Amino acid sequence: MTEASPRLTPEEEKLTIRDITVAAESQTKEGDTFYLITQRWWQDWLDYVNHSQPANSNDGSSLELHDSVGSNALKRPSSIDNSDLIDEAESGKPSLGNELHDTLVEGTDYILLPEKVWNQFYAWYGGGPVLARKVINSGLSQTELSVEVYPLRLQLHLIPKGDHSTTRISKKETIGELYKRACEIFHLNAEEVRIWDYLGRSHVLMDNMEKTLDEANIQMDQDILVEVGTIGSVPSSVLENGAAGNGTPALVEPSRHSIAGGMSANRGLSRNGNSLPNLDSVKEADKTYGTSGVSTRGSSCGLTGLMNLGNTCFMNSAIQCLVHTPEFARYFREDYYQEINRQNPLGMVGELALAFGDLLRKLWAPGRNPVAPRPFKSKLSRFAPQFSGYNQHDSQELLAFLLDGLHEDLNRVKHKPYIKSKDAEGRSDEEVADEYWANHIARNDSIIVDVCQGQYKSTLVCPVCKKVSVTFDPFMYLSLPLQFTSNRSMTVTVFTCDGSAPPAAYTVAVPKQGRCRDLQQALATPCSLKQNEKLLLAEIRGHKIYQYMEDPLIPLSSIKDDEHLVAYKIPNLPKNTKYLQLNHRREEREAGSGMKPYGTPLVSSILCEDVLTSSDIQSIVHTMLSPMLRAENGGQVNQTTTRSSAAAAQLPAATNSTEECSNGSLPSKHENGGSSRVTDLQKLPLVFVDENNVCIELSSIADDKTLKYSSSSPSILVFINWSKKLLKNYDTHYLENLPEVSKYGPPTKKARTEPLSLYTCLESFLREEPLVPEDMWYCPRCKERRQASKKLDLWRLPEVLVIHLKRFSYSRSMKHKLETFVNFPIHEFDLTNYVANKNNSQRQLYELYALTNHYGSMGSGHYTAYIKLLEENRWYNFDDSHISTINEDDVKSPAAYVLFYRRVKTEKPLSTKKQS
């Protein structure tokens, strides 16, 4: 495009754009056009027009930038290039024109220019592509102007033909406009067309032509069914099986209570992969009971279900508990719009709060038709991508995000002050706690804080200098462990390196919050550990040693129940030792398929100053394997798994090799006549890994050949290649099928008949325990990170106390769920004795009003909510769109997951009775 002539100076361009912008922004109205321009080009232009301005100049223009370029003149930008904003269509996919990338952020990727500003730039610079967008009314009151950068992208499905197309349309356009566009796209006669909003499991006829798509709650990538055919009759091309002559789905005869037309349930997929509906299977809603199953005549509001959009029960259950929290129901049904914080960088510019408030109002509106929470799900997916799609998620994780997100969107503090915490310096806990809380409120003040936030007292004690640090931190909910006792059973397989006993598995009881040294001590007696021996713990994964657990302070809580632990009984040698690690491989079943990892590695100790030969390794390996040699091949008879510390019978030539030296180590080769000690032993098929990581077959080298190994690695690697013939000589079942640390099984009858008290869970949560190594505390007195002990106390309790029962434990390979029945109070949940702040003269009593339940396993389970309508004093079961009454006696079950308690107002004096 030809540039304007004569060319303006940078200063003239700047002033021209500033004047046009000020005039245009003051006159912006609904329906105006704005244009996207890439942030990269915009920044180049700003640098160009500002390069000669002083750094401290500011004439009030929004185009002003500090001079960060220097005195050198900048090159005038080339033509506008918006190509980095465009998402190129994939090969084979239809294009909608200039489609924007889905994740563009205003101010980072692009800025919006009023039409007159864009026209001026275009006249000066030309370029493109041109990206025009309309101004619409938005917000709760529909009076806030915003630019619709991303119009709705809708998936149109033509039935019965099965054709589909994608279109872009403003959410402020009417259903009539969508109807018209569908007819144009598919070249249809308007008299024969109806369009349907596909909700996943039900379908709504879109017949109000004046209603906007926004009012109809149509969302991005929504599936719209375009039905064509003579209404109320069957086209002649329809066969008895409901398919047209060309094999595509076709209309079927509608019944009296069905919607005419439809697709076969196994044909046609929506964008999210779900089958498109069979329309004639959808019945009219019952006018008296609806799909909720509860009569709508003459009863109170709040009994509206939520449709399951596809594994969204985790979201539905959490939302129902929140919207039935009286403080939230009252707040969001009133005018909360003024409290929305759009400037909070930690928030979601108020959109999450608006979406939640809108959904809450729908659920509390008169009527019982279930609500499809698509607008809320859309906002949730945008701000929390971890909850996008249609997979099952953790309801408590969603709840935590939602409470935090609503708080930030509704934070009354617009500018958070910086406040440095002061040391207690001998002041009373009450004074310090109030100071911490005041500092917290100075930065965080919202309805969420008012209702749900409490305060901990956290005490840390340095294990070295005994420095005590006390802080008072806020909390939104309590996550309580489900523990019956303070002990834990762990199973470990013990291997000997001296051939004195076959491998054996031992199950021992250890403290749940104990360390590896506790496990070693518990194993010492049953495995007959000698004074000059030690146990080397190791974790086994994939037939290899994943890690040695030599640090005695490693917490046992870091060892998951599905892991495999072994302990090697080895001499307690000086530090200048290495571990000779024997890994096993065996032939594949099909001949010629090579070797694959097998069994459990064995470990022995080697003094670093010793010279290691091929004969030495053969002798050591023979010694380690000797307890597994079958009797007919000269080995000991292993009728049962022995736990004796006496030496087992050895091969004659290997007997001397197992005699211990006075220092507890294996004898050196020089004490046993050098390499002659294995002359009578059959050479095993061993492979040695040398210092250069090269594999050497020991059978191919001389017995007295000195082997060089890596000095930097803690282990010397040796492999044994088990042939089918060699396996017949050894009983290797000891090396296979290691038991798990703790095998999960169905709950025992004892566990079911002895329910765990919620008070016991709380006491376990508040119990003093050491910090995990990766979360060590920096002691200000020692000036080092220390593994301090930590003690939590409740200090300030909220109006609504949310309690999460930690039913799920996660490991690298699987997720476990505890089906423990927790006996939680419904009335008079008394926390008085658990609050460290004794200045409060009132009893801390709570009453249950809602909870979420989880049934089944983590990946394929189902969530529901039990909620008490306080106006009716009656409990209901909210199971997605279905609602039914339940008895209070049925509220308690092993499925209870997240509990919601409200404070009970009482004037009763404090009770000194201890809770059991």
The whole-angstrom separation of Cα 38 and Cα 46 is 13
Select which of 183, 313, 462, 516 is catalytic.
313
The whole-angstrom separation of Cα 895 and Cα 856 is 9
The end-to-end CA distance of the chain, in Å, is 84
Residues recorded for the chain: 916
Q: Dig out the tokens for 684 from the structure.
A: 């095993």
Rounded to the nearest 5°, which phi and psi values hold at 43? -65, -40
The whole-angstrom separation of Cα 606 and Cα 573 is 9
Q: Dig out the tokens for 581 from the structure.
A: 């690690």
Rounded to the nearest 5°, which phi and psi values hold at 467? -65, 130
- Nearest C-alpha neighbor of 550 from the set 585, 525, 578, 531: 578
The whole-angstrom separation of Cα 98 and Cα 77 is 23
873 HSE (CA, 13 A, CB side): 1
The whole-angstrom separation of Cα 819 and Cα 857 is 10
Do 505 and 491 touch, CB atoms closer than 8 A?
yes
The whole-angstrom separation of Cα 256 and Cα 252 is 13
Bridge partners of 242, per DSSP, are none
Q: Dig out the tokens for 522 from the structure.
A: 């518990």
- Nearest C-alpha neighbor of 717 from the set 828, 566, 612: 612
The whole-angstrom separation of Cα 441 and Cα 435 is 10
Told to judge if 584 belongs to the known catalytic residues of this protein, a careful annotator would answer no
Indicate the helix (H) or strand (E) that contains 817. Answer: strand 815-817
Q: DSSP letters along 684-730, please?
A: P-EEEE-TTS-EEEGGGS-TT-B----SSSSEEEEEEEE-HHHHTTB
Do 343 and 414 touch, CB atoms closer than 8 A?
yes
Q: Dig out the tokens for 810 from the structure.
A: 């996660």
The whole-angstrom separation of Cα 150 and Cα 862 is 34
**Interhelix angle for 115-125 vs 10-26, to 10°?**
160
Told to judge if 564 belongs to the known catalytic residues of this protein, a careful annotator would answer no
Do 823 and 811 touch, CB atoms closer than 8 A?
no
Q: Dig out the tokens for 50 from the structure.
A: 């500002």
Rounded to the nearest 5°, which phi and psi values hold at 434? -65, -35
Under 8 Å CB-to-CB from 783, ≥6 apart: which residues? none
- Nearest C-alpha neighbor of 848 from the set 764, 915, 798, 904: 904
Select which of 51, 440, 543, 862 is catalytic.
862
**Interhelix angle for 39-50 vs 10-26, to 10°?**
120
Residue 437 exposed, middle or buried by CB count within 10 Å (0-12, 13-18, 19+): middle
The whole-angstrom separation of Cα 901 and Cα 584 is 57
Do 398 and 379 touch, CB atoms closer than 8 A?
no
Indicate the helix (H) or strand (E) that contains 401. Answer: helix 395-409
Q: Dig out the tokens for 5 from the structure.
A: 């002539």
Do 134 and 32 touch, CB atoms closer than 8 A?
yes
DSSP three-state, residue 802:
strand
Write the Ramachandran bin of 556: left for phi over 0, alpha for psi from -120 to 50, otherwise beta: alpha
- C-alpha torsion angle, residues 123, 129, 135, 138 (rounded to 10): -150
Bridge partners of 863, per DSSP, are 854
- Catalytic amino acids? 313, 862
